[in-house]
Chains A and B, each alone.
Chain A
Amino acid sequence: MAVTAVPNQRDLRLDLFRGLALWLIFLDHIPSNIVAWLTIRNYGFSDATEIFIFISGYTAAFVYGKAMLERGPLIAGARILRRVWQIYVAHIFLFAIYMAEISYVAASFENPLYAEEMNVLDFLKQPDVTIVQALLLKFKPVNMDVLPLYIVLLILFPPILWLLLRKPLLALGAAVAIYAVAWEFGWNLPAYPSGVWYFNPLSWQLLFVFGAWCALGGAEKLGPVLRSRATAIAAGVYLAFAFAVTMTWYVPGLSQYMPVWLEEHIYPIDKTNLDVLRFAHFLALAALTVRYIPQDWPYLTLRALRPAILCGQHSLEIFCLGVFLAFAGHFVMVELGSGIGSQVLVSAVGVLAMVATAYLISWYKGVEGRNPSRPKSPDADLAGGEA
């Protein structure tokens, strides 16, 4: 049986856009941040999460697909699970930081105006339950939903990757079927204390598997479609439509121009279950990006793009740092002032910290890599080294 080849060439565009997505996720996570108006979620249906999950699927297939072909499914599967463990530990580390912050607020902040809001701290009263639920990934504080999603996607990835390498279209079809069934029957994983996962893994797997499928030859198959003028026009029209709809949410008075039948048809645009409108919006963005930024785009090697690319190459570390910095940044703003100046300052310092950390990690990996006594780990620095 023919097995799909895994491309060899490193695609800097993936690193670049994942790095940018990490910055946008950080900016979006700081509440009441004027700089977040720069991020794409305000100008269309999808946001940086789609970019991040798609590229993560792409690189996972790239890195572990190679391992699966060279070393077999068992070794590749073991590597994927080792990665899952790293992400899990990172998530629990972030949870510990979150607990520290929230406990501080619980002990130091009191205001009768916000008696109801402070009930969010109720879970501190029963740490025995809360911490266990957090370890089970059922209790997830605000903005800590992405890593648990990523963990579930990667745990399920070994068999999916195996199938993708042999019957790519069947694997993609299965992903679409699971998405459709979850949508139809409202399937999702349970959360604590109530409700379901904010990012439904049964829905978001579609984007992840689609990314993986693209990495394993799908993108080439789509080539003629992506290059066609009709696709570009359709994508452009759809992006313009999404932009117009989003503007009616933000510009006072515009909402009256939104036809009721259209509202009834498209609202709510469901993030939890990866609404088709969001998925299509991401596809349109991706199609135009691929069309106008080819893989050998000369500007990709520009020094100015280097910071974003480096961040994208160390995505797990930088993502976690971003979640922490968003907490810390909000904390600083609450304590010291939350004017526009401090919003800009906190955002800029945060992105700089992410970039500096990426440089540091990159430097360290470089130094370690040159050390002949230590063999280079086989999947390091492939497509950014990380899935």
Chain B
Amino acid sequence: MKMIAAAILILLGVNSALAQDPKTCAIPSYLLLADNELKKVVAAVKVGRLNIAVVGSGSSLLTGADGPRSAYPARLESTLTRRLPRIAVKVVSIAKSRETADTMAKEFEQILAEVKPDLVVWQTGTVDAIRGVPLDEFQGVLEEGVERLQAGGADVILMNQQYSPRTESMIAIGPYADAMRVVAQHYGVPLFDRLSIMRHWSEVGQFDLHAASKTNVLAQRVHDCLGRAIASLIVESAHLEMAAPKPTQ
């Protein structure tokens, strides 16, 4: 009887809780492909400063008093600052809840003028999926947006949706994620595949993304890992650890 119960538990995936609890934010290499160049970032780092703008919706934010400090844009900044000690790294987060790709893109001119980013991390796709924005419209906005950012002198990284198991059957994010992949491929910009990365963390048992929680504990840990992962993508895509001016010994 016990064996049957154990077998059922294993079948239901309860065993994932027993798996080791890695403290790292490990990501398999195929989920963090750095095969697109970030020329503007390389150029900026050569002169010792790096301006990054994160444009996104509610999933780039965390609530609470320590929300701004613990959301992934801030984590990205502190990771990059640590990994590139000679570079003045600044990450500006321009994220608002409920913003579609179209609304964000309308602010690009202003962001380019005010922040003068070398790199824009454009997180989108969730709100458009919730609203059911037609796919061709969404893709058109992405294409135009990427072109405008590039013309304005910034590299671009597209970031897709969070893996959110609870709302999976309510929000059809798949087609929007596909559209983002297509646009990223077409323009040769890196796609930060947050969806697959978080799904991977859920599958290996690193985070329990099913659990309800009133506190920010899990959210902060996830955002910390996301910030580190984007930092890795930037560093590897731009080969920064080699390009950065060497600290004098």
Contacts and interface: CB of A to CB of B under 8 A. Distances in A.
Interface stretch (B59-67, B82-90, B147-155): B59-67
B1 to A, nearest CB: 19
A385 to B, nearest CB: 30
Nearest to A188: B134
A2 interface: no
Contact of A31 (B30, B64, B169): B169
A194 B136 contact: no
Given A142-B172, A195-B131, A272-B134, A117 B12 contact: no
Contacts of B113: none
Interface stretch (A6-14, A152-160, A330-338, A369-377): A330-338
A119 B130 contact: yes
- Measured as residues with beta carbon below 8 angstroms from the partner, the interface class of chain B is 35 or more
Contact of B166 (A105, A142, A268): A105
Given A113-B219, A141-B170, A196-B134, A119 B213 contact: no
A336 B139 contact: no
Given A32-B199, A253-B30, A334-B165, A194 B185 contact: no
B11 A268 contact: no
B178 interface: yes
B210 A339 contact: no
Contact of B131 (A194, A333, A344): A194
Given A338-B210, A342-B13, A102 B170 contact: yes
A195 B136 CA distance: 11
A264 B212 CA distance: 43
Nearest to B17: A337
Nearest to A29: B169
A267 interface: yes
B63 A252 contact: no
B13 A337 contact: yes
Given A115-B58, A268-B139, A339 B16 contact: yes
B222 to A, nearest CB: 6
Contacts of B168: 31-32, 330
B214 interface: yes
A108 interface: yes
Interface in B152-170: 162, 164-170
A263 B185 contact: yes
A342 B182 contact: no
A344 B171 CA distance: 22
Interface string A191-232: 101111010000000000000000000000000000000000
B170 A120 contact: yes
A321 to B, nearest CB: 16
A102 B169 CA distance: 10
A270 B12 contact: no
Interface string B163-203: 01111111110010011011001100000000000010000
A359 B137 CA distance: 45
A112 B30 contact: no
A327 B135 contact: no
A3 interface: no
B135 A193 contact: no
Contacts of A112: 62-64, 213-216, 219
Contacts of B51: none
Contacts of A126: none
B164 A114 contact: yes
Contacts of B135: 268, 270, 272
Contacts of A345: 11-12
Can you list the 9 inter-chain pairs with the closest CB atoms, starting with the nearest? A339-B13, A116-B58, A341-B11, A31-B168, A337-B13, A113-B219, A337-B12, A252-B30, A195-B132
Interface of A: 29-32, 102, 105, 108-121, 141-143, 191, 193-196, 198, 249, 252-253, 255-256, 258, 260, 263-264, 267-268, 270-272, 326-327, 330-331, 333-334, 336-342, 344-345
Interface of B: 10-16, 30-31, 33, 35, 57-59, 61-64, 97-98, 126-127, 130-136, 139, 162, 164-172, 175, 178-179, 181-182, 185-186, 199, 209-216, 218-219, 222
